[in-house]
Amino acid sequence: AQTVTQSQPEMSVQEAETVTLSCTYDTSESDYYLFWYKQPPSRQMILVIRQEAYKQQNATENRFSVNFQKAAKSFSLKISDSQLGDAAMYFCAYRSANGGSEKLVFGKGMKLTVNP
């Protein structure tokens, strides 16, 4: 079974600074997807960024980018120019690409605080 680990329960960053959130996972599969979701106090899970395992190039979405290290099974999220609205819980998630239910396997999450 696949597992996702987020070892840092909380982090804080100053507004306009850069912060990196770490995530590791365990799988025997070679084809899969990785996601970062953001969950503000409203509870709505919002997709931040997605990475396909077969792609070597790291995904980027505006101020958000990932460092995907397939051999190390590491998938960190970098937030540049942090904004107050980035404060939320962040969840790393894994999904198999080998068919089946394609359920997401989540880490326990990390609370990000952005200080003005």
Partner 1 sequence: GAGVSQSPSNKVTEKGKDVELRCDPISGHTALYWYRQRLGQGLEFLIYFQGNSAPDKSGLPSDRFSAERTGESVSTLTIQRTQQEDSAVYLCASKTYLGETQYFGPGTRLLVL
Residues that bind partner 1 (CB under 8 A): 4, 33, 35, 37, 42-47, 50, 52, 91, 93, 95, 100-109
Of 42 and 62, the one with the shorter C-beta distance to partner 1 is 42
**Cα 37 to Cα 108: distance, rounded to the nearest angstrom:** 12
Of 43 and 71, the one with the shorter C-beta distance to partner 1 is 43
Of 10 and 15, the one with the shorter C-beta distance to partner 1 is 10
Q: Which long-range contacts (CB under 8 A, 24 or more apart) does 55-64 make?
A: 64/36
Tell me the HSE value of 19 on the side-chain side, using a 13 A CA sphere.
22
What is the chain's percent helix, strand, coil content, to nearest 5? Answer: 5, 50, 45
